Chain A
Amino acid sequence: MTQTGGDTPVLVLHDAGDVGGGGPWRIALTEAAWTGPVLAPDLPGHGGAPAPSGGAYEPADAVLHVLAHVAPDGGPRPVVVGVGVHGWAAQLLALGGRSSGLVLVDGLGGPWMGPVEATDRVRRWLRAISDDPDAVGPPPANAKLTWPGTP
């Protein structure tokens, strides 16, 4: 692969549940000779990042965890890559003028659902969480999705 990127940073929002968080993306983009800064932070509960305090997290929150990289006066705007459920957070950054390019990797969201179906799905999901001791108990120490060899 030829060198690409110039000085433009690339910012990857890895998918929820990605083992190793942003680690594999950091390796892949660096080895692919992206010439600008490679930013692929571990989002909460992944890689080296602790679980979200309070246990609450939803995909749009990824925006809050990368704001420092996309500050309005913070230098060149990155190309933002949104993976899986974090495609929506990447789109929010693009809509808000915080990125110079948008790449979605399987990031177009799930099938369309009407309000009754969506409400019922959330209802069942919340009930399942409330019945799952692992989900509502205190997070075990060092509970992170990690991948051996992740820098």
Chain B
Amino acid sequence: MQLAAPDRAGFVDLGRMRLRVWEWGHVADPPVLFLHGAYDHGRMWDGLAPRLAHDGFRVVAPDLRGHGDSGRLSSGHTWAAMTLDLALLARRLGPPVGVVGHSFGGGQALYLAGVWPELVDWVVNLDGLGPPAAAFEERDLIESVTAGLAVADRVRTSPPRVFTNRTQMAERRQQVNGRLPRAWIDHLVLHGSRPVEGGFIWKTDPLFGVGFPSGFDLTFIAAQHDLVTAPILVLTGAEHDTWSDLTPGELGGRLAHLQGARHQVVAGAGHYIHIERPDEVVGAIEGFLDEVGA
């Protein structure tokens, strides 16, 4: 595992939201946004970002709102507000920008490219084509709302869980992401937690986990994906893993709504493709950028 701390670290004030931003590479090089997934943060790019910076890009990796050191959430529904943050950030970087996104961040990358095509030159999506169909199967409405209210009650009345030490947090994270090497787990925990009295808490805003039923389903994902006109590289891992839930048939269905997307399956990788197989991911991105002339 080869990691390089960011060349620059700072905050960007977007008017209504303040984002923590990590950067690698020369300021004058073409900008690329690196977007982490849900419950992660910008330092998950300490492996991939320096390599793209070495290739001649200015890598800018924000902590998404409600994550890492960025501003807290005011809403239980953050998808559109997060994308708006990214559009405002891209405008400041001198668009168009390239965008590399993992998981939830991959979805954000596609939505950004769909809503503001003039801001996005190309997209690399790392296993981020949305939840499986099963996630949208109709549940009993009363049951769903009751469960959503219970989570909201807990966030309102209970302080975040305090872990005695970061080792406990790493053990918890390892249970969820069993394929990640322990050194990477420790890195994600170190930058994804903050000290409080009596121990440590996760940086991610607990409000991020609050939500109520809505009409959003696969037809909306398809409609969002249909908007994207930028060249897209989709990478998925060959191995079964947490949060890699699409069946091959579902994956094909999603790709059919991304015009001109190239898709590569990376052997020996699960959901965190860029962490498990960095050389293959760098090679695929370089090949894609050569092909699209970026």
Q: CB within 8 Å of B: which residues of A?
A: 44, 52-58, 60-61, 63-64, 67-68, 71-72, 92-93, 95-98, 114-116, 118-120, 122-123, 126-127, 129-130, 136-139
Contacts and interface: CB of A to CB of B under 8 A. Distances in A.
Nearest to B80: A126
B116 A127 contact: yes
Given A116-B223, A139-B16, A95 B142 contact: yes
A120 B223 CA distance: 8
Given A92-B212, A96-B142, A136-B15, A67 B74 contact: no
27 contacts: A52-B74, A54-B17, A54-B65, A54-B73, A54-B81, A55-B17, A55-B74, A55-B81, A56-B73, A56-B74, A57-B74, A61-B77, A64-B210, A92-B149, A95-B141, A95-B142, A95-B146, A96-B145, A116-B226, A118-B215, A119-B223, A119-B224, A122-B80, A123-B227, A126-B83, A126-B115, A138-B16
Interface string B15-26: 111000000000
Contacts of B17: 54-55
B115 A115 contact: no
Contacts of B153: 67, 71-72
Interface in B145-176: 145-146, 148-149, 152-153, 156-157
B72 interface: yes
A94 B115 CA distance: 35
A123 B215 CA distance: 17
A91 to B, nearest CB: 9
B93 interface: no
The 7 tightest CB contacts between A and B, nearest first, are: A55-B16, A56-B81, A119-B223, A52-B74, A115-B219, A56-B75, A95-B145
Nearest to A126: B115
Contacts of A71: 153, 157
A97 B150 CA distance: 11
Residue of B75, B84, B91, B141 most packed against chain A (CB within 10 A)? B75
A107 to B, nearest CB: 16
Interface string B85-127: 0011001000000000000000000000011100000000000
Nearest to A93: B149
Nearest to B18: A54
Interface residues of B, number: 46
Interface string B210-226: 10101101011011101
Contact of A44 (B16, B74, B76, B212): B74
Given A92-B212, A123-B114, A130-B84, A60 B16 contact: no
Nearest to A122: B80
A120 B114 CA distance: 10
A72 B271 CA distance: 39
Contact of A92 (B73, B145, B215): B145
Contact of A58 (B75, B145, B156): B75
B30 interface: no
B193 interface: no
A54 B223 contact: no
B68 to A, nearest CB: 15
Given A95-B141, A115-B222, A119-B227, A129 B146 contact: no
B131 interface: no
Contacts of A63: 149, 152, 212
Contacts of B210: 64
Given A54-B81, A130-B84, A96 B149 contact: yes
A60 B73 contact: no
